[in-house]
Amino acid sequence: MVWESAANTNVGMVRKVNEDSILSKPECAVWAVADGMGGYERGDVASRMIVQNLDLLQDEPALAEIVDNVEDSLISANEQILEYSEIMLDNGTLGSTIVTLIIRGSVGVCFWVGDSRLYRYRKGELKQLSRDHSRVEELIAQGRLTPAEAENHPESNVITRAVGVDSDFAVDINVFNVHIGDTFLLCSDGLYNMLSNDEIVDHLQNQNIDEVVESLVESACDNGAPDNVSTIVIKGEFEKVITRDVVTND
C-alpha cells in the first residue's frame, strides 16, 4: 500500500496568530497536527517544538521501533517546552495538544494528547479513533453527560491533558488495522467544532484529497472559525507495479 496525503492550516476568522502546527511526511508514513493552547503564552512555540521533534523521525521499517521513537519524541518535546517556559517565561504556562498517525504495512498507530483528533472514513462510516482528553469527555464516560449535551457545555473547551504543561506526562496510543480505500483525517478542534460529522463525511466522499482538504478548511471558515483550523487527509491505494511480458525465441 502507498499513502497519499494533503494538508492545510489556516488562522481562521478571528485569531491573529496561528498556534497550530502540522507535519505531513507521506514518504515516512508519519502525520501530525498540534494545536497550541489558546489563551496561553506562545502556544505557537509549543506546537512548533512538538512538530520539529517529530520531523526528525526516520523511516524505520520495524513497527515497534517507530512506536518507541514517536513516544520518545513527544516526551522530549514535553521536556523542551517545560524548559522553555522556565527560562523564557518565568514558568508561565504554555502547551499544545497533539495527534499523530503512523502506518506500517497493514497497521496504523495513533498517538494523542489533548483534543486534536484522528478519524477513519471507511465504507461510508466515520469513526473517531482518538478519545479527547477533555472535561466533557470525562463527564460522558461517567454517565453524567450525553454527547448531545456536551456540544454546548460551558466546559466544552477545557482539556485535561496537554504537552508541555506537566512533567507527569502520558501519551495515549491506539493500534488498528488499515485497509485499502481507508481515508484518515487528522484535525484540530478548530475544524470539528465548525462541522458536523455528516458534513465531514460529505467532504470525504470526494476522491481528490487536495480538494477535500481545501473544502474542509473553507467550510470551517465560512462557518465563522473562531479558532485556527488544521487538517490532514490521508488515503491508501495499491502501489502501482509495472510489469512487462518477456518473449523468448526457442
Cell numbers placing 157 = 473547551
Q: What is the mean pLDDT of residues 137-148?
A: 87
pLDDT at 243: 43
* Closest alpha carbon to 8 in 239, 243, 190, 240: 190
User: Taking the model in full, what pTM does it have?
Assistant: 0.92
In this structure, the number of other CB atoms found within 10 A of the CB of residue 179 comes to 12
Report, as an integer, the average pLDDT of 197-211: 97
Give the whole-angstrom CA distance, residue 219 versus residue 129: 23
Q: What is the pLDDT of residues 26-49, one digit of tens each?
A: 999 999 999 998 666 689 999 999
Average pLDDT over residues 212-223: 98
Strands 172-177 and 125-128: unpaired
Q: Where are the domains of the chain?
A: 2-237
pLDDT of residue 41: 64
- Residue 167, pLDDT above cutoff 60: yes
**pLDDT confidence band for 125 (50 / 70 / 90):** very high
Q: Which CATH superfamily is domain 2-237 in?
A: PPM-type phosphatase domain (3.60.40.10)
- Kindly tell me if the per-residue pLDDT of 84 is higher than 70: yes
Q: What is the mean pLDDT of residues 214-224?
A: 98
Instruction: Give the mean model confidence (pLDDT) for residues 116-122.
Output: 98
Question: What is the Cα–Cα distance from 76 to 58, expressed in whole angstroms?
Answer: 16
Provide the percentage of residues in the chain whose pLDDT is more than 70.
Answer: 94
The C-alpha cell at 11 is 488562522
pLDDT at 246: 46
In sign, the C-alpha dihedral spanning 190, 192, 194, 200 is positive
pLDDT band, residue 231 (cuts 50/70/90): very high
Tell me what the pLDDT averaged over the chain comes to: 91
Say what the pLDDT of residue 242 is: 44
The torsion region of residue 167 among left (phi > 0), alpha (psi -120 to 50) and beta comes to alpha
Q: Decide: helix, strand or coil at residue 96.
A: strand
Helix (H) or strand (E) segment spanning residue 200: helix 197-204
**pLDDT tier at 244, thresholds 50, 70, 90:** very low
pLDDT at 79: 97
Looking at residue 181, its amino acid is G
